[in-house]
């Protein structure tokens, strides 16, 4: 089966290489909006962030087109957001007025609950009796976590998303800050002063499993985790050298340290504005403000070898946040004046977690790679419908017919493949249906190129068709995997439930 699908991929990747480049990460577009943090709902392919100019607006970006949607108005000013990618609900930290700390009227601390799929704030406000540092969501358990400091003691507060009430709180190391959630291994990692606290969240528990002592870690240190490799990454700017520490979460030891100047050639006195990793490709993205050049960079690191893949200049002075959509392999980088969107670097192999070991699942128990397969199909169908709509607007008869044929062909084949996932003969027919969809898409690409897509059909059609190709690449990569490592047969078995 692997050989069969590789022949399909060869044709597609040759086309993709000529059009979009191959393997290395690259800047693909800029979104002209200033937001204060970047949060991604991978299920709905939406990106959220607080509007820097108006603290009561939650900006929304459509990840399929990287365009701005209608923002959500919040009843009061907020400072940070976190999203549950299963429910789509966004949780935002309330902005605290300075007067609250200096003898003014005491402000109530807490979290607003926003129904992002309905584009509306709710009436729900969850009061938290300590200053909020970071906020994060575990979509597998529907629990929200905030780090706080009360009476000089570090605190972790757990909120139950089903009841919107505080369910637990525990003391943790002092000056807690940023949180990294690890749903697969049922853990959480928190950057505190000179420590990374490892929190056990298994079986409805909440307790410190251990701490990794690293002098120089602070509450502002950035932190991220790869559940597939059981590694956590945390930034540190102590001793006049900016570095990223790599921690083995099972043995609770630091395995290595990556000094920015040594392994990337950039200034050692810069600052890390964001850390994010794509667990599917095992690529780490370090948002770095280089003090020597005064430029913002993204350093792309191979998580297997801890070596630099590439360094990307952003044409800005600083990086304030960075996030990765592992389903689309896009990287969103917050700079002072805009959002830079990168096409993520490719990994050697797509390695979805093994179903025999539990794997990373949605709340319904469906493995993430199955959801990715389905979402890619849905995006092909959605993009094809857009192409069909675009065809109707074309005045040139040749353009109209060509676009209509492309749209109807891809809708037909993608819909057949979607239906096959629930079929009793799925294992037998899915390989041939993926093959037919591949031939359909590649045939259309050849047709577009032969007619001069940018001239004959327009850049609008080309952009939509690129989405179709990108989504099909996800389908092909999953299908290429051997049956024994969660290939197409497992997609059938899980997808039919």
- 3-state SS, 408-449, equals HHHHHHHHHHHHHCCCCCHHHHHHHHHHHHHHHHHHHHHHHH
* Secondary structure (DSSP) of 261-321: HHHH-S-TT-EEEEEEEETTTTEEEEEEEETTTTEEEEEEEETTTTEEEEEEE-SSS---E
Cα angle, residue 264 at apex, residues 260 and 266 outer, rounded to 5°: 70
Distance of CA 270 to the CA centre of its chain: 25
**Residue 238 CB contacts under 8 Å (≥ 6 apart), including other chains:** 215, 216
**Residue 352 CB contacts under 8 Å (≥ 6 apart), including other chains:** 280, 359, 367, 368, 369, 372, 478, 481, 486
Strand partners, 62: 46, 67
Question: For position 221, what pLDDT does the model report?
Answer: 92
Rounded Cα distance, 383 and 377, in Å: 10
Is the pTM higher than 0.75? no
pLDDT tens track for 261-277: 877 788 888 899 999 99
**Residue 148 CB contacts under 8 Å (≥ 6 apart), including other chains:** 128, 130, 131, 132, 133, 154, 155, 156, 157, 176
Mean pLDDT on 241-256:
89
Asked if 300 and 285 count as a contact pair (C-beta separation under 8 A), the reply is yes
Rounded Cα distance, 206 and 188, in Å: 10
Q: Where are the beta strands (DSSP E) in 161-270?
A: 165-172, 179-182, 187-192, 195-200, 207-213, 223-226, 231-236, 243-248, 253-259
pLDDT tens track for 100-153: 444 445 567 899 999 999 999 998 999 987 767 899 999 999 999 999 888 788
pLDDT tens track for 89-102: 999 988 765 444 44
Asked if 185 and 173 count as a contact pair (C-beta separation under 8 A), the reply is no
Q: Where are the beta strands (DSSP E) in 54-100?
A: 57-62, 67-68, 72-73, 78-83, 89-94
Domains 24-343 and 355-495 equal at CATH topology level? no
Classify domain 24-343 by CATH architecture: 7 Propeller (2.130)
pLDDT tens track for 186-228: 999 999 999 999 999 987 889 998 999 998 888 789 999 999 9
Domain 355-495, CATH number (from 1.10.287, 1.20.1250, 1.10.3470, 1.20.1440): 1.20.1440
pLDDT tens track for 356-410: 333 445 545 566 667 778 888 888 888 888 888 888 888 777 778 878 888 888 8
Mean pLDDT on 429-458:
66
Residue 497 CB neighbour total at 10 angstroms: 10
**Domain regions of the chain by residue span:** 24-343, 355-495
Burial 45-57 (b: 16+ CB within 10 A, else e): bbbbbbbbeeebb
Question: For position 455, what pLDDT does the model report?
Answer: 44
């Amino acid at each position: 089966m692997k050989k069969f699908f590789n022949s399909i991929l060869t044709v597609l990747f040759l086309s993709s290489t000529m059009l979009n480049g191959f393997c290395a990460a690259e800047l693909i577009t800029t979104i002209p909006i200033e937001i204060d943090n970047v949060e991604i709902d991978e299920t709905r392919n939406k990106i959220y962030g607080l509007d820097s100019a108006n603290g009561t607006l939650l900006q929304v970006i459509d990840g399929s087109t990287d365009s701005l949607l209608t923002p959500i108005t919040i009843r009061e000013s907020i400072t940070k957001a976190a999203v549950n990618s299963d429910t789509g609900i966004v949780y935002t930290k309330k902005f605290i007025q300075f007067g609250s700390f200096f003898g003014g009227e005491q402000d109530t601390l807490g979290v607003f609950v926003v129904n992002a799929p309905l584009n509306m704030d709710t009436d729900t406000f969850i009061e938290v009796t300590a200053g909020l540092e970071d906020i994060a969501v575990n979509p597998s358990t529907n629990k929200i976590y905030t780090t706080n400091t009360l009476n000089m003691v570090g605190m972790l507060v757990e909120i139950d998303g089903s009841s919107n009430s505080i369910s637990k709180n525990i003391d943790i190391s002092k000056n807690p800050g940023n949180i990294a959630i690890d749903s697969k291994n049922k853990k959480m990692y928190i950057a505190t002063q000179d420590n990374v606290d490892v929190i056990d969240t298994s079986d409805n528990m909440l307790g410190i499993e251990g701490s990794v002592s690293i002098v120089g870690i602070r509450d502002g240190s950035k932190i991220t985790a790869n559940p597939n490799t059981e590694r956590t990454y945390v930034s540190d700017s102590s001793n006049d050298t900016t570095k990223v520490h790599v921690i083995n979460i099972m043995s609770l030891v630091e395995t290595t340290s990556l000094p920015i100047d040594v392994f990337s050639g950039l200034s050692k006195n810069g600052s890390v504005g964001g850390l994010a990793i794509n667990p599917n490709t095992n690529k780490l993205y370090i948002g770095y403000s280089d003090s020597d050049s005064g430029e913002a960079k993204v350093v792309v690191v191979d998580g297997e070898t801890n070596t630099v893949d590439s360094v990307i200049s952003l044409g800005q002075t600083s990086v304030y946040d960075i996030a990765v959509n592992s389903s689309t392999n896009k990287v969103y980088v917050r700079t002072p004046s805009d959002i830079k969107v990168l096409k993520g670097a490719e990994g050697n192999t797509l390695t979805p977690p093994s179903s025999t070991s539990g794997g990373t699942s949605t709340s319904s128990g469906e493995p993430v790679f199955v959801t990715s397969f389905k979402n890619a199909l849905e995006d092909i169908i959605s993009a094809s419908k857009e192409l069909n709509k675009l065809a109707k607007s074309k005045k040139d008869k040749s353009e109209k017919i060509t676009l209509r044929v492309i749209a109807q062909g891809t809708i037909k084949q993608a819909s057949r493949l979607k239906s096959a996932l629930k079929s009793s003969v799925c294992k037998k027919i899915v390989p041939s249906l993926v093959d037919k969809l591949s031939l359909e898409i590649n045939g259309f690409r050849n047709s577009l190129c032969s007619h001069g897509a940018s001239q004959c059909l327009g850049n609008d059609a080309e952009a939509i068709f690129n989405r179709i190709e990108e989504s099909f690449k996800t389908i092909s990569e999953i299908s290429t995997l051997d049956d024994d490592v969660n290939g197409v047969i497992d997609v059938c078995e899980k997808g039919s439930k």
